Structure 1
Amino acid sequence: MALRVTFVAAARSSPRLAERFEDDRPLDQAGWEEVQRAVGDLLPLAAAELRYCSPTPRSRTTGDALGYAPLVQLALRDCDMGRWRGLTLGEAMAREPELVDTWLSDPGATPHGGESLHAFITRVGGWLDTRPVEDGCRIVAVAEPSVIRAALVYVLKAPPSTYWNIDVRPLSTTTVTGRAGHWNLRFDAASAQPSPAWERA
Structure 2
Amino acid sequence: MDTRLLLVSHAATAAQRAGRFPADDPLDARGRAEAEAARTRLALPADATVFTSPAVCARETAAALGLSATPADALADIDYGQWRGQRLAEIADQAPHQLAAWTREPDAAPPGGESFGELVRRIGDWLDAQQANAHSCNAVNEATFGAPAHGRSIVAITHAPLLRAAIVHALGASPAVFCRIEIAPLSVVELRHSRRGWTWWPAATV
Asked if structure 2 preserves the Cα contact closer than 8 Å seen for 1:42 and 1:66, the reply is no
1:18 CA displacement = 2.1
The normalised TM-score by structure 1 is: 0.85
Q: Rate the CA distance shift 1:183–1:62 in 2: closer, same or farther, 3 A.
A: same
Q: Aligned in 2, Cα 1:99/1:112: closer, same or farther, shift over 3 Å?
A: same
Corresponding residue number in structure 2 for 1:33: 33
Q: Secondary structure at the match of 1:178?
A: strand
Residue equivalent to 2:163: 148
Question: Does structure 1 residue 186 correspond to structure 2 residue 185?
Answer: no
Q: Which residue of 1 aligns with 2:147?
A: none
User: Could you say which residue in structure 2 is the equivalent of 1:125?
Assistant: 124
Q: Distance in 1 between matches of 2:46 and 2:128?
A: 22
Larger Rg: 2
Change in Cα spacing, 1:61 to 1:40, as seen in structure 2 (3 Å) is: same
C-alpha separation in 1, matches of 2:52 and 2:69: 6
Match of 1:166 in 2: 181
Q: Which residue of 1 aligns with 2:66?
A: 67
| Structure 2: tracts of 5 or more residues without a match | 139-149
Instruction: Tell me the amino acid that sits aligned with residue 55 of structure 2.
Output: T
> How far apart are the structure 2 equivalents of 1:138 and 1:57?
24
Please give the alpha-carbon distance, in whole angstroms, between the structure 1 residues aligned to 2:196 and 2:90: 38
Q: 2 CA distance for matches of 1:158 and 1:189?
A: 23
Gaps of 5+ in 1: 192-201
Corresponding residue number in structure 2 for 1:139: 154
- 1:82 corresponds to 2:92: no
Matched residue, 1:104: 103
1:24 alignment counterpart: 24
Structure 1: which amino acid aligns with 2:197?
H
TM-score, with structure 2 as normaliser:
0.83
Task: Report if aligned partners of 1:56, 1:77 keep a CA contact under 8 Å in 2.
Answer: yes
- Counting aligned pairs with the same residue, the percent is 34
